[in-house]
């Protein structure tokens, strides 16, 4: 696009000012279009990740995994759930590497060891306080920054996600 604009400008002759204005206008229009496409794609991916998170939370809730109680957007809950998922992933990876029988034997010994210990609270990352309310926060539209001429962010394809 830059090469085309430069070529147009080089043959402008007497209409140099008009061509410069036209080039600037086209360039701004192109940049605006790119920004709108980027905004749309970011919104699309964000809604897809939210839907994936809600689906994972529902599946793990249905499976009875401790720490999962339906879809939530609470920072503290999501942090704890991510640690649980990381642990489960590691367990399945290890099981695949050492085999089911060795893994079951290891789990039994861990169960015995953990049963004799006092529970310790899970450490929290900096910035995520212990006293954060467990209320599930979902931002309201007026809390989003003004986006100029962009339409409000809507979930794609008419899907909605209900947070509890």
User: What's the residue count for the chain?
Assistant: 164
Of the listed ranges 2-16, 77-91, 125-139, 141-155, the one predicted with least confidence: 141-155
Does residue 21 sit within a domain? yes
Q: Residue 138 falls within a domain, yes or no?
A: no
The whole-angstrom separation of Cα 9 and Cα 16 is: 7
The answer to whether position 53 is within a domain reads yes
Rounded CA-CA distance 49/51 in Å is: 5
Domain assignment present for residue 145? The answer is: no
Q: Say what the pTM is.
A: 0.53
Higher pLDDT: 152 or 70? It is 70
CB neighbour class for 61 (10 Å; exposed up to 12, middle 13-18, buried from 19):
middle
Given this model, what pLDDT does residue 129 score?
A: 59
Cα 27 to Cα 17: distance, rounded to the nearest angstrom: 15
Determine, yes or no, domain membership for 27.
yes
Q: Is 27 helix (H, G, I), strand (E, B) or coil?
A: helix
Whether 141 maps to a domain, the answer reads: no
Domain extent, residue 58, equals 2-122+151-158
Residue 106 lies in a domain: yes
In a domain, 6, yes or no: yes
Find, among 74, 69, 67, 47, the residue nearest to 58 by Cα: 69
Domains in the chain, number: 1
From the list 88, 56, 87, the residue with the least C-alpha distance to 72 is 56
């Amino acid at each position: 696009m830059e090469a085309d604009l430069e070529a147009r400008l080089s043959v402008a002759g007497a209409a140099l000012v008009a061509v410069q204005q036209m080039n600037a206008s086209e360039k701004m229009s192109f940049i605006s279009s790119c920004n709108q496409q980027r905004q749309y794609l970011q919104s699309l991916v964000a809604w897809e990740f939210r839907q994936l998170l809600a689906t994972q939370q529902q599946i793990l809730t249905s499976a009875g995994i401790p720490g999962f109680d339906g879809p939530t957007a609470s920072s503290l809950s999501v942090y704890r759930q991510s640690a649980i998922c990381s642990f489960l992933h590691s367990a399945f990876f290890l099981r695949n590497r050492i085999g089911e029988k060795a893994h079951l034997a290891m789990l039994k010994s861990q169960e015995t060891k953990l049963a004799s210990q006092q529970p310790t609270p899970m450490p929290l990352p900096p910035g995520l306080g212990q006293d954060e309310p467990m209320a599930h926060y979902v931002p309201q539209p007026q809390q989003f920054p003004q986006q100029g001429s962009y339409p409000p962010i809507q979930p794609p394809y008419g899907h909605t996600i209900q947070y509890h």
